[in-house]
Structure 1
Amino acid sequence: MSFKVTFIGAGSIGFTRGLLRDLLAVPEFHQVEIAFTDINEHHLQMVTELCQRDIEENELKIRIQSTVDRREALQNARYVICTIRVGGLEAFETDVDIPLKYGIDQCVGDTLCAGGIMYGQRGIAVMLDICRDIREVAEKDALLLNYANPMAMLTWACNQYGGVRTVGLCHGVQHGHEQIANVYGLKQEEVDIVCAGINHQTWYIQIKHQGKDLTAGLLEAFESHPDYARTEKVRIDMLRRFGYYSTESNGHLSEYVPWYRKRPEEIHEWIDLGSWINGETGGYLRVCTEGRNWFETDFPNWMKEPALEYAANHRSQEHGSYIIEGLETGRVYRGHFNMVNRGIIANLPADAIIEAPGYADGNGISMPIVGHLPLGPAAVCNTSISVQRLAVEAAVHGDDLLLRQAFMMDPLVGAVCNPKEIWQLVDEMLVAQEAWLPQYADAIAAAKVRLSSDKLLPVRAYEGAARLKVKTVEEMQLDREAANRNAGEADKGKERAVQK
């Protein structure tokens, strides 16, 4: 088979190298065309060099087309895999640090809350430019597989305003599935699940083993698990109060709802510092920073290490390659995809991006009807969907009033801040991220005037309840294996250690 796959944001070593391995592990795909593009020429060059070495070591004749010209990379592409982070770690730092001045303590800040909303403002404008290029130069009806966060917001904007078929992909469902099997002493493949909701707030509404329902005993199983009882306290409490387990990690979930991070003195009751993903303040920013610094410093050694093996038993659980395989070969793949709802989940809005079971095969991508979510989980999702809708419309139209309303409606921001504080917070974030927010030029000019006033609300220098320092390269050299895993994994929360 011969068709073209373009990776946008290919300078992301964690995603690009692993997804390419997954794709080229399919025997029928050994003749495909591969294009890499990124705005960072240095990162692009390093990742291209490493991936080209992998290809050659696997005795394939593919030559990666690597270019900073996005339209050139997209020419005649049938599939586009997007892993961009607009603003990079520089903007990400402001997503975490500015809200801390107002008492908003985030673990990740890339999906909801103050950081996720602003990440969406930066990303949506770029995603719509990408969609324009896809419409103009890629194959007709090219499929955009979006791995970039905030997943729901970006996928929503691409489908509603970008004019490109877009599917959002995430690995959260697979991880929770593995945990559920673990607490019952089973293998993941022995447990059948139906998981539905919205990205990072998807709920395991059906869990079965050999036809027997396991949902009823799940709370007791998690409460008695020696590790999860300490590392997943937020998820277990949500299970206790809403009746269903949620996909996202302890730290992620804690910042999507108003109850677990609103009082600094209570945060440590709900988190564990054995792994950043269990709730560390700014934890994802820290490990991303460490991964970038390590890869840039240690890259020559990566070229000396064994190449990735393109084999079926080395494929990850990331959905992307399996979807392409299903569409191209006709083999049936069942996964969980982020798609426009259109009635799949009856009690969530039709225009929202939902995450639910789907199938990819020679007939396309099909999403079965789920029906109604249980009322409690649906209520949690609907609150987040309101924030997402406001944030998408704000980003598309450069409407800072809608942006402020998105902040107002966000569960954790609203639990911590009053309206005046939110208005000033948005002003600060707009000004700090001016370089990536061209649609807000007028609003930013007005915000600068307000921030020059001597009547600003007081803020504080606050590091957060559970902030750890970024490791130096020298410190990371003490455990090269761990540093390599962190830099090389798309999923930087894969290993969830426990604090000793």
Structure 2
Amino acid sequence: MSFKIAIIGAGSVGFTKKLFTDILCVPEFSDIEFALTDLSEHNLQMIKAILDRIVEANRLPTKVTATTDRRKALEGARYVISCVRVGGLEAYADDIRIPLKYGIDQCVGDTICAGGILYGQRNIPVILDFCKDIRELAEPGAKFLNYANPMAMNTWAAIEYGKVDTVGLCHGVQHGAEQIAEVLGAKSHSDLDYVCSGINHQTWFIDLRLNGRRIGKDELIAAFEAHPVYSQQEKLRIDVLKRFGVYSTESNGHLSEYLPWYRKRPDEITRWIDMSDWIHGETGGYLRYSTETRNWFETEYPQFLEAASKPLDASKRSNEHASHILEALETNRVYRGHFNVKNTGIITNLPQDAIIESPGFVDRFGINMASGITLPEACAATCISSINVQRMSVHAAISGDIDLLKLAVLHDPLVGAVSTPEEVWQMVDEMVVAQARWLPQYAEAVPAAKERLSKSKVKTRDWAGAARRNVRSIEELRAEKTALKQAG
């Protein structure tokens, strides 16, 4: 087979390498072309050198190109994969820093809450540019695979306004299932069957079966509470399981910022999170992790390049959806996964216009979703709160209506649990002014926002958050990796 895959945001080096090696684990795909594009020439050249080394080491005919000209990369592409972060770590730092001044403590800040909403405002205009280019330059009927967060907002904009065949992809369901299989003592992950449905990062395991035997709420609670690690790392998640009756896909840290109950006061935050790793609730945890990862890669690049000389091992193909979807579409080997698409009767008790995440099957005919799923009422209620925020956020990003943007942030569950309307109005003004270079749709609103900020009497505070850690140096990271290697 011969076709072209364009990867936008390919400078996300580690993730691009994973997608690349996964796809090349499909035997029929050895002769395809990968067109890498990114704003950073430096990052592009680093990842191209790694991928070229993989191709050379495995004696493959695969073609790899790299360009900062996105339109050139998209010419003739059958598949387009996006893993962009508009504004990079600089804008992301503001997504965490500014809300903290108003008492809003986020672990990740990339889905909803104040940070995720502003992230969406930066991404959506760019997503629509991608879609325009895809319509004009890619193969007719090209499929757009979006990995970028905020997943639901980006996918919503691409489908509704970009008019491109789009699916949103995430690995939260797979990771949650791996946890459940472990606590239940499954010999293999394949022993666990499940139906998981909801919206991205708020998806619920509504049916669990281990070797065909249905697993109930009480058995699952007991299994998690008995686990020596997860019982400490997932305290909030287990509490939600007890109250809702079903387990959520998302980590302790992710889930904590989508709900109004667990991060509303500093003492409550420290009660529910775990600091053994960033993903369990640390303030700005993913920002710290991302910064350290970037610094580590820049410093240790020669080692990454050397590792690329190893033979490909199909047994190490990851459970990221992209390669499996492409394999099913091109070879008709059926793949079952969980995908982000527009709700059209798929989940009966969520809005029809929402982007939902739910089971589907892929073959030559496309992605075929299982319809008629009904969520438990509490799960649906929680999802609907987020969907309402997502809808307003998308419409604000499209229209450049700063008042609608403020209403979207005001209705966010965690923001509403922490901040007053006056604080929200000022916080949004401050975030839009700070990120103006990435928010072209708000250009006309920025001068008035600056004027309001100059006259505002809303008090803020210099607060690092309830559980903040400093970014570690390369020396500290190296020492930690050495210690872990010795202990292992």
Q: Which residue of 1 aligns with 2:69?
A: 69
Return the offset for 1:480. Answer: 4.9
- Cα deviations by residue, 1:452-486 (Å, 9 ceiling, x for unpaired): 12x421100000000000011222222457999xx
Distance 1:195 1:481, change over 3 A: farther
Q: Are the aligned partners of 2:193 and 2:208 in contact in 1 as well (CA < 8 Å)?
A: yes
Question: Could you list the runs of 5+ residues in structure 2 that have no partner in the other structure?
Answer: none
Matches within 5 A, 1:365-444: 365-444=367-446
Distance 1:185 1:36, change over 3 A: same
Q: Which residue of 2 aligns with 1:465?
A: 466
Q: Are the aligned partners of 1:80 and 1:143 in contact in 2 as well (CA < 8 Å)?
A: yes
Q: Which residue of 1 aligns with 2:87?
A: 87
Bigger Cα displacement from structure 2, 297-306 vs 230-239: 297-306
Q: Which residue of 1 aligns with 2:214?
A: 213
The alignment status of 1:131 with 2:131, answered yes or no, reads yes
Return the offset for 1:229. Answer: 1.1
Q: Are the aligned partners of 1:294 and 1:483 in contact in 2 as well (CA < 8 Å)?
A: no
Q: Are the aligned partners of 1:339 and 1:355 in contact in 2 as well (CA < 8 Å)?
A: yes
Distance 1:462 1:227, change over 3 A: same
Return the offset for 1:448. Answer: 0.6
Of 330, 333, 351, the residue aligned with 1:331 is: 333
Q: Which residue of 2 aligns with 1:25?
A: 25
CA separation in 1, counterparts of 2:320 and 2:373?
26
Q: Are the aligned partners of 1:337 and 1:355 in contact in 2 as well (CA < 8 Å)?
A: yes
- The letter of the residue matching 2:233 is T
Q: Which residue of 2 aligns with 1:158?
A: 158
Return the offset for 1:300. Answer: 2.4
CA separation in 1, counterparts of 2:266 and 2:71?
47
How many residue pairs match? The answer is 484
CA separation in 1, counterparts of 2:360 and 2:9?
26
Matches within 5 A, 1:125-274: 125-186=125-186, 187-216=188-217, 217-274=219-276
SS at match of 1:6: strand
- The letter of the residue matching 1:134 is I
Of 432, 437, 453, the residue aligned with 1:451 is: 453
Return the offset for 1:308. Answer: 5.0
Matches within 5 A, 1:47-126: 47-126=47-126
Q: Are the aligned partners of 2:50 and 2:308 in contact in 1 as well (CA < 8 Å)?
A: no
Matches within 5 A, 1:4-19: 4-19=4-19
Return the offset for 1:54. Answer: 1.1
CA separation in 1, counterparts of 2:39 and 2:426?
32
Return the offset for 1:266. Answer: 1.6
- The letter of the residue matching 1:459 is T
- Cα deviations by residue, 1:157-193 (Å, 9 ceiling, x for unpaired): 0000001011000000001101111111002110100
Q: Are the aligned partners of 2:198 and 2:204 in contact in 1 as well (CA < 8 Å)?
A: yes
CA separation in 1, counterparts of 2:14 and 2:286?
14
Q: Are the aligned partners of 1:153 and 1:392 in contact in 2 as well (CA < 8 Å)?
A: yes
Q: Which residue of 2 aligns with 1:349?
A: 351
**RMSD between superposed Cα atoms in Å:** 1.5
Q: Are the aligned partners of 2:7 and 2:81 in contact in 1 as well (CA < 8 Å)?
A: yes
Q: Which residue of 2 aligns with 1:489?
A: none
Bigger Cα displacement from structure 2, 308-317 vs 354-363: 308-317
Return the offset for 1:211. Answer: 2.2
Q: Are the aligned partners of 1:291 and 1:483 in contact in 2 as well (CA < 8 Å)?
A: no
CA separation in 2, counterparts of 1:215 and 1:393?
40
CA separation in 2, counterparts of 1:162 and 1:171?
24
CA separation in 2, counterparts of 1:376 and 1:89?
35
Question: Could you list the runs of 5+ residues in structure 1 that have no partner in the other structure?
Answer: 485-500
Q: Are the aligned partners of 2:51 and 2:308 in contact in 1 as well (CA < 8 Å)?
A: no
SS at match of 2:248: coil
CA separation in 2, counterparts of 1:350 and 1:55?
44
SS at match of 1:162: coil
CA separation in 1, counterparts of 2:9 and 2:482?
25
The alignment status of 1:42 with 2:37, answered yes or no, reads no
> What is the aligned-residue identity percentage?
59
Return the offset for 1:430. Answer: 0.2
Give the TM-score, by structure 1 length: 0.95
CA separation in 2, counterparts of 1:274 and 1:109?
19
CA separation in 1, counterparts of 2:320 and 2:388?
28
CA separation in 2, counterparts of 1:272 and 1:195?
25
Q: Are the aligned partners of 1:477 and 1:483 in contact in 2 as well (CA < 8 Å)?
A: no
CA separation in 1, counterparts of 2:363 and 2:8?
24
CA separation in 2, counterparts of 1:205 and 1:171?
17
CA separation in 2, counterparts of 1:369 and 1:306?
42
Distance 1:205 1:442, change over 3 A: same
- Cα deviations by residue, 1:397-430 (Å, 9 ceiling, x for unpaired): 1111111111111000000000000000000000
Bigger Cα displacement from structure 2, 360-369 vs 387-396: 360-369
- Cα deviations by residue, 1:423-461 (Å, 9 ceiling, x for unpaired): 0000000001001000001111110111112x4211000
Give the TM-score, by structure 2 length: 0.97
CA separation in 2, counterparts of 1:188 and 1:406?
39
- Cα deviations by residue, 1:349-389 (Å, 9 ceiling, x for unpaired): 11110000011111211001142111110000000000000
Return the offset for 1:35. Answer: 0.4
Distance 1:482 1:390, change over 3 A: farther
